[in-house]
Structure 1
Amino acid sequence: MFHVNNKYEFNELFRSDCNISRYKIKINKIVENVLEFDVNLSPYDLGEIYESIVEKNLKKSVGQFYTPKKVVKSILESTIENIDVVKEPFVTIADISSGCGYFLIETYDILRNKFLKNLDSLRRIYGEKSYTLRKNGQDIRLNGYDYWQQENIHYHILNNLIYGADIDKFAIQILVINLLSKDIDKNIDKLNVVNCDSLIKWEKEFKYLKHNKDIYEFWKKEFDYIIGNPPWVSLLRKHKQEISSEKFKYYRENYKGNLHSPNLFEYFIDRAMEKTKYGGYISFVVPINFSKNKQYKNFRQYILQNYAIKNLIFNISFPSIITEAMVFTIKKENIKENNINIDVLDKRQYKLPQKEYLNSSNFEFNYTSFNFSNDIKEKIFIDSRALGDIGDTFTGFIGVSKKINKQQVNPKEIEVYKGENIERYFCKSHYYYNLIDENIKGGTKNLKKLKKKEKILVRKTGKEIIAAYDLNGFPIEQSLYGIINVDKEFDYKYILAILNSKLINWYYKNFLITNKNSTPQIKKYRLNSIPIKKCTIEKQLEIANLVDNIINSSICTSSLNNWSKQYINQIDDTILDLYDIKDRKTRSYIKEFID
């Protein structure tokens, strides 16, 4: 005997709205197409074959569109790539509209690489714990030393971490094939993959249905991450006929979507919010209309008041549809002061305080409505000269890394600087290297330039600009840029202060940084473009004196002490004044952005 909520007609609620049978798409047709291709098909190949078979009209009716790899990568970079599997070895990731599983397949690869790199740490920390591994229908008890082995990682990820659900039973079968094929030699008894309508609240409405036990077990969980590309289907316009009236009634009564023109993707966001743990993340691809249309105003306000928006990605195009897309990543926690990472693909990246959206009309997530970053950028270029126009910049020498020593090995070795030898404003240490022609493999080979005594050093890599003053004239290695021959109108230490300032670091992070999510660095041509404000020599010397105070108070301890930090704050305030950044909110935003 089972109990069903009598508010809804059981058969109508469970009627398949995919209409796949109407289009006579069968799994053997997929197999036939697969056989025509190379046996070494990638997961994307299988998915694309299936999606090429599904008629365009059917795709529209269920809101099913191929997600470009670039979009998948963008979502995973801001979510799964940040997971620490040593701290969270049982983190859970779900795609509740998984389709053929592009997101979960890539997630598997990322997690597997993370686990394989950290097996020693996992055994060291969790060696004494007890684990259960199910093999050939039987439970096997293992300690952590035996469990955290390479041969068990495939099982661990599929059995404990990855969850997928979709209404399309054929897409689900392709997902299963793709996941199992990651290691065909391993026997997996169970996958956390279900074929169902994710918007039905199985854990509440139908938990007594025995034949839906797997679905109930799936949906009674909460997840650490919910990711994906939910279907975009308008329920009151031309696709209304694809949703049964009983199911439409169920959706409207169980989800917060707008009443004027509800869309399935709204309900999926609401469902994800419900099934994400506190402190967990949701990252979805949605239509750009969600960011600005008035019909979603209340939903945006709810997100802004109850979630921390971590990332917004704009300017996303899908090859098969006209509508532009966006990606949002939110964290289930309420942070009073939160800065949003905004990425306008192929154009620019910057940060924006979440409160700016909360204080805007209609609570729009609109990157064009805020000229915040552009306004600041425009100001710092007024009455400024590019660094490359007032001095010569160069890259250090390329040497043989194993011959660059921390201690002097022979008398022919001389002191040299690498990037790690400098802090903001001063050089804290050095290396030794025999700087003869045969040991210089590239970069700058001009010893006179390399050994110039008065020069500014800039680290090539890092999330922030770190620049130091070199009075010793030690040669620099390729991990540093050098700045020499500065125009007489400018003081070296004045330029040094500008490069280290919060204002220019804000500019670097928003407009100059390269490889932000892997090995962040500043290219030489971008270093040359940094705007140096023109001002009187008296003002420059005032700032240079503060730089001297920082160097003198820090050089003995090889670190920035409290006195140094006071001088740095003075410099930051003075430079904001110089560049005419007077607005209190803007100044506060720049300082908080870097802190």
Structure 2
Amino acid sequence: MEDFKLGRLYQQSMERDTKKAHGKYYTPDYIIDFMLEKTLDCADLVEKPFIKILDPACGCGFFLLKTYDLLKAKFRAVLPQLREKYETEKYEINKEGTTYAVDGCSYWQEENLHYHILKHCLYGADIDKEALWLCSASLMAKDRKKYFGEMNIIYCDSLFRWEQYYDKEQLSRELQEYKLVYSVHNLRDDKAEYLEREKTEEILRNNRFWSNKYDYIIGNPPYVGHKELAMDYKRWLLDEYKEVFRDKSDISYCFYQRALEAADDKCIIAFISSRYFMESPTGRNLRAYLQKNSRIIQIVDFYGEKIFQGIGVATAIFFLANESGGDNETEIWKYDGGRIESIDSGDFEKFAVDQDKLLEDRWILIPDDKRDILRRIENRCRTRLGDIAESFQGIITGCDKAFIVDEYMVKALSIEEELLRPWIKNSHVRRYRIKDSNLKLIYSDWIDEPLKYPNSIMHIEKYRARLENRRECRKGFRQWHQLQWGRNPELFTKDKIVYPFKSGSNRFALDRTGCFCSADVYSFVLKDGAENYTLPFLLGILNSRLYEFYFKLFAKKMGSGMYDYYPNTVMELKIPDYEDCKDIEPLSGELLELHQNGASKERIKTLEEEIDGMLSAYFGIGSNF
């Protein structure tokens, strides 16, 4: 699209770190088209020709440019009706810098649509001045006729409540006279701010802009993680948006609340954003807020497939209405295809979910038949895995080349044996078993005196410059030769179940050999007091076909058939009582031996089907899940 050219070039020119800090990523055309068509399709421009459409993080204006085209086509189609309905109405129009009063017949002409749309319909705000200039220039260039008048494109932080924290009457009175400094009353902090005229005028423009109520709010709110936020700004958000924003929240959460505040009655909001808030602990407040304060019309869940180039954020489109969600059914489109390049409804699984079933704990987007299986499992079990097991992440070395050696290097360098421990990575973890590894970890946290371990230190020192640059070393928390995060080594020596951080299927293995694990492997050991359970029993359950189905009902999908096996999710799994299902344990024990010895697949399949049959009978569900 030609009028996107400047904006695209501008975004492409931005450094990756700058994009990340500001959350700026270009929304593909087909996404914008889909969102606008779904949002504005039913807009009645005859009944409401002065429709207000806001993009609160408009950037270069990609959403607004396409909205302009859509509105112009819709206005063009109803011009006769507009002239008839508003024939005697009085309007103002600016031509060549002069304002004229005209009647409805003269105003509702095609030659005036450019002026009308820019003056009365499109509103955009952003914190990037250069992007806003490109947005304004691209909108004005939409028609050969020169646009005269002020556009509704403003430079501001949209999350600041300008309409609440300043009094437009007080600002207007101040600006009636020319002064060197103007006294502006900040109602939020209850103090006087002494500002130059240009800044005072800017605040008044922002106040008027945000005093509007909008009929439609669209866009791609910035995705900025808590680690990218300046500490003072983060503190301000924690106070200003405490209803939705928590310590590790993303800034996009605040834009949902801000949009609902700026929304007119029954306004439609269409945002594409990270889908993570539907499941994450930090999204709990936002889930509750949206449940209480909006009608959730539709969720288009791309279910982990990548939409934005250059980032791995899983996204979804959320369509909300500024009205009560009581007795509402939310339409769900859940992506079920491969690589996505367009929104073809045939690529989505479609179903409806009662909005009141989108619970604070987690929004689980599944149809009723799958929800029934989930309910049966959750209601039948009293114990969550996290109640009986302690989960922990593998070791972060900070530089694997310095600390991970193979058997050949151990011999060649004469690495001290007492520091070496067996080492496994994600790729070594299989169902029931751990693939043989010839890797060893130099557990350098045990080096109390470097002179005792000259060979290990000599090897590690080759990477000293890189190791000293680790944040923990710079801050003095770790010595240069130590692991970045060595964890508690005693946990690794216990019998434990290990599983990969990212996988396409359940892969839980029993480790009785004291393997130390990389950071892409998680483990759990039984807690004290969990004597009623055994690791082989849990292994058989977690590797079952039913429990893979159960886990994937609410697990975070990471794209390309991969799922996030983060402990926050794994530890939420409900586990049957041991006494009721203890016959699973000997079957699991036999499977351990068969997998370890590479036995016939037929016997393995038979045993796994027996376990699934026991679990299906226990939960009262069929085998067709």
Query: TM-score scaled to structure 1, two decimals?
Result: 0.53
Structure 1 runs not aligned, ≥5 long = 1-40, 376-595
Find the aligned partners of 2:288 and 2:76 in 1 and give their Cα distance. 42
2:249 equivalent to 1:262:
yes
Residue in 2 that maps onto 1:80: 40
Shift in alpha-carbon separation, 1:312–1:228, aligned structure 2, 3 A: same
Would the aligned equivalents of 2:353 and 2:367 in 1 still touch at CA under 8 Å? no
Residue in 1 that maps onto 2:271: 284
Find the aligned partners of 1:279 and 1:80 in 2 and give their Cα distance. 13
Residue in 1 that maps onto 2:237: 251
Residue in 2 that maps onto 1:366: 365
Residue in 2 that maps onto 1:275: 262
One-letter amino acid matched to 2:270: S
Residue in 2 that maps onto 1:338: 328
Residue in 2 that maps onto 1:537: none
Would the aligned equivalents of 1:44 and 1:102 in 2 still touch at CA under 8 Å? yes
Shift of 1:367: 4.1
Matches within 5 A, 1:427-438: none
Residue in 1 that maps onto 2:156: 196
2:205 equivalent to 1:214:
yes
One-letter amino acid matched to 1:261: K
Q: Residues 457-516 of structure 1: CA distance to partner in whole angstroms, max 9, x if unpaired?
A: xxxxxxxxxxxxxxxxxxxxxxxxxxxxxxxxxxxxxxxxxxxxxxxxxxxxxxxxxxxx
Shift of 1:363: 4.3
Residue in 1 that maps onto 2:96: 136
Shift in alpha-carbon separation, 1:136–1:370, aligned structure 2, 3 A: farther
Shift in alpha-carbon separation, 1:80–1:310, aligned structure 2, 3 A: same
Would the aligned equivalents of 2:277 and 2:286 in 1 still touch at CA under 8 Å? no
Q: Residues 161-218 of structure 1: CA distance to partner in whole angstroms, max 9, x if unpaired?
A: 0000000011101101110000132332111000111111122224435321222211
Shift of 1:55: 0.4
Find the aligned partners of 2:146 and 2:71 in 1 and give their Cα distance. 17
Which of 50, 56, 68 in structure 1 is aligned with 2:16? 56
Find the aligned partners of 1:283 and 1:273 in 2 and give their Cα distance. 11
Matches within 5 A, 1:101-140: 101-140=61-100
Would the aligned equivalents of 1:81 and 1:110 in 2 still touch at CA under 8 Å? no
Would the aligned equivalents of 1:283 and 1:329 in 2 still touch at CA under 8 Å? yes
Find the aligned partners of 1:149 and 1:318 in 2 and give their Cα distance. 40
One-letter amino acid matched to 1:362: D
Shift of 1:369: 9.2
Residue in 2 that maps onto 1:395: none
Residue in 2 that maps onto 1:23: none
Would the aligned equivalents of 2:244 and 2:254 in 1 still touch at CA under 8 Å? yes
Find the aligned partners of 2:297 and 2:223 in 1 and give their Cα distance. 23
Q: Tell me, what secondary structure is at the counterpart of 2:323?
A: coil
Would the aligned equivalents of 1:257 and 1:263 in 2 still touch at CA under 8 Å? no
Shift in alpha-carbon separation, 1:186–1:371, aligned structure 2, 3 A: farther
Q: Tell me, what secondary structure is at the counterpart of 1:214?
A: helix
Residue in 2 that maps onto 1:472: none
Residue in 1 that maps onto 2:283: 296
Would the aligned equivalents of 1:310 and 1:340 in 2 still touch at CA under 8 Å? yes
Q: Tell me, what secondary structure is at the counterpart of 2:41?
A: helix
2:31 equivalent to 1:71:
yes
Find the aligned partners of 1:373 and 1:182 in 2 and give their Cα distance. 53
Shift in alpha-carbon separation, 1:75–1:365, aligned structure 2, 3 A: farther
Shift of 1:84: 1.6
Shift in alpha-carbon separation, 1:68–1:171, aligned structure 2, 3 A: same
Query: TM-score scaled to structure 2, two decimals?
Result: 0.50
Find the aligned partners of 2:24 and 2:248 in 1 and give their Cα distance. 19
Residue in 1 that maps onto 2:143: 183
Residue in 2 that maps onto 1:556: none
Matches within 5 A, 1:400-439: none
Residue in 2 that maps onto 1:417: none
Structure 2 runs not aligned, ≥5 long = 172-183, 185-199, 338-346, 375-625
Residue in 2 that maps onto 1:498: none
Find the aligned partners of 1:159 and 1:234 in 2 and give their Cα distance. 35
Find the aligned partners of 2:72 and 2:239 in 1 and give their Cα distance. 41
One-letter amino acid matched to 1:149: Q
Residue in 2 that maps onto 1:378: none
Residue in 2 that maps onto 1:351: 351
One-letter amino acid matched to 1:249: R
Count of aligned residue pairs for this structure pair? 329
Shift in alpha-carbon separation, 1:374–1:47, aligned structure 2, 3 A: farther
Would the aligned equivalents of 1:291 and 1:366 in 2 still touch at CA under 8 Å? no
Would the aligned equivalents of 2:218 and 2:270 in 1 still touch at CA under 8 Å? yes
Q: Tell me, what secondary structure is at the counterpart of 2:333?
A: strand
Would the aligned equivalents of 1:222 and 1:275 in 2 still touch at CA under 8 Å? yes
2:311 equivalent to 1:312:
no
Find the aligned partners of 1:271 and 1:193 in 2 and give their Cα distance. 17
Shift of 1:341: 2.1
Shift in alpha-carbon separation, 1:82–1:176, aligned structure 2, 3 A: same
2:135 equivalent to 1:149:
no
Shift of 1:100: 0.7
Find the aligned partners of 2:152 and 2:114 in 1 and give their Cα distance. 13
Instruction: Give the RMSD, CA atoms, in angstroms.
Output: 2.2
Matches within 5 A, 1:515-534: none
